[in-house]
């Protein structure tokens, strides 16, 4: 058949004394119907035909799912009175007719079902709080056990986690901290220049970065980077049944899995916080030198005078709390993973969101409780 004859078209035959017969011709396939001009013209032709009860599909060169669906929808999703078709064409039309193209409407939940769903959600929340408190208590007991017999502690696991969580996070935290310092210094310089208070940029940058933004930024980055990794590692152990094997062998999961990660984050977070604050101060110092002409020597001389050492102590103290919280949340959601990949992905996502939320809440709590420290 020539290429031009493959264009889908529709003819109407009206034999004398008989009912009209619709005769599709050409290739009713997705390749031919892909053109909007061909598709719109064919739909207009079908609409002009109206309801025809007799159809003869034997002149169709090729018919696929799209062409069969176009015919089926034109028929009003029911069979005409008479359809002449080859065996393959009829089988394709029957498959299209067997499966609805529209998704079934969802049922409206009754009041009882909504109450039951709310009760199950509350029960799950209470169970999560109970398990998290139990994890905190187990961590305390494991730490006391470590103090009683430090030579039996999982120090190799601790050093490995300290390297992956701490040392490998230094480049990204330094880069983000440096850029944040540049942005803050540039924006503040525009405002301070209007009031002739350029020198106060040292006070603002020093207090904001050392006391608040440095620890908070480092904690958010570690929550996204290491908190998700902790949940994924323990979740994979659940999927591969390693946790069940540890339980059978009598290996305590809290002592070997939770405590090394919590200790590593408790040690690494203050160091990463100081590192991030230093990178941010360097970025702010360079931006202040470019925009306001405040030299680095003046910056170094004025910073210790305007920012008390207690601010750095407070930042390191809350960084320890950030680290332990991120580790506990990551381990909590990792231990709750069910042995399937869908639960693993959902647990990892929830862990990151919960860790970042917890970090912000803890930072707000520290800001309220220690509002007079270092000011």
Q: What would the pLDDT profile of 244-260 be if each residue is shown by its tens digit? A: 898 888 888 889 999 99
The answer to whether the beta carbons of residues 193 and 241 sit under 8 Å apart is no
Contact yes or no for 234/257 (Cβ under 8 A) = yes
Domain 3-98 has CATH 3.40.50: no
Among residues 30, 36, 35, 105, which one has the least CA distance to residue 68? 30
pLDDT per position as a tens digit, 54-105: 888 888 888 888 888 888 888 877 888 888 888 888 888 888 887 755 544 4
pLDDT in tens, 342-359: 888 889 999 999 999 999
Residue with tokens 């169709």: 60
Q: What is the pLDDT of residues 145-158, one digit of tens each?
A: 999 999 888 899 99
Find the mean pLDDT for residues 25-51: 80
Measured from the Cβ of residue 94, the count of other Cβ atoms closer than 10 Å reads 12
Among the ranges given (68-77, 98-107, 114-123, 137-146), the one the predictor scored with the smallest mean pLDDT: 98-107
**DSSP helix/strand/coil, 101:** coil
Rounded to the nearest integer, the mean pLDDT of the chain is 86
Report pTM: 0.69
> Is pLDDT of 1 > 50?
no
Q: By percentage, how much of the chain surpasses pLDDT 90?
A: 37
Q: Where are the domains of the chain?
A: 3-98, 118-133+142-369
Other C-beta atoms closer than 10 Å to the C-beta of 154 total 17
């Amino acid at each position: 058949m020539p290429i031009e004859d493959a264009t889908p078209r529709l003819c109407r035959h009206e034999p004398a004394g008989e009912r009209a017969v619709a005769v599709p011709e050409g290739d009713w396939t997705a390749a031919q119907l892909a053109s909007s001009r061909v598709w719109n013209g064919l739909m207009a032709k079908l609409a002009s035909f109206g309801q025809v009860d007799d159809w003869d599909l034997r002149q169709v060169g090729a018919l696929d799912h799209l062409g069969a669906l176009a015919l089926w929808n034109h028929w009003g999703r029911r069979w005409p009175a008479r359809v002449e078709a080859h065996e393959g064409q009829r089988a394709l039309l029957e498959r299209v007719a067997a499966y609805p193209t529209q998704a079934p409407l969802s049922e409206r939940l009754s009041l009882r079902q909504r109450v039951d769903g709310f009760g199950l959600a509350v029960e799950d929340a209470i169970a999560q709080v109970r398990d998290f408190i139990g994890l905190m208590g187990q961590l305390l007991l494991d730490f006391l056990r470590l103090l009683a017999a430090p030579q039996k502690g999982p120090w190799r696991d601790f050093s490995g986690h300290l390297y992956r969580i701490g040392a490998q996070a230094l480049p990204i935290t330094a880069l983000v901290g440096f850029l944040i310092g540049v942005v803050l210094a540039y924006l503040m310089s525009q405002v301070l220049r209007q009031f002739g208070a350029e020198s106060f940029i040292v006070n603002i940058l020093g207090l904001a970065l050392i006391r608040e933004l440095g620890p908070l930024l480092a904690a958010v980055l570690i929550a996204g980077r290491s908190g998700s990794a902790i949940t994924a590692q323990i979740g994979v152990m659940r999927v591969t049944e390693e946790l069940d094997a540890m339980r059978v062998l009598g290996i305590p999961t809290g002592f070997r899995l939770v405590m090394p990660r919590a200790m590593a984050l408790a040690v690494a977070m203050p160091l990463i916080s100081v590192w991030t604050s230093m990178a941010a101060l360097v970025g702010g110092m360079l931006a202040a030198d470019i925009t306001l002409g405040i030299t680095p020597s003046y910056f170094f001389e004025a910073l210790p005078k305007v920012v008390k050492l207690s601010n750095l102590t407070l930042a390191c103290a809350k960084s320890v709390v950030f680290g332990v919280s991120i580790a506990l949340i990551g381990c909590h959601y990792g231990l709750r993973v069910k042995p399937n990949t869908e639960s693993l992905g959902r647990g990892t996502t929830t862990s990151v969101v919960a860790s970042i939320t917890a970090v912000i809440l803890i930072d707000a709590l520290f800001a309220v409780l220690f509002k007079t420290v270092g000011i």
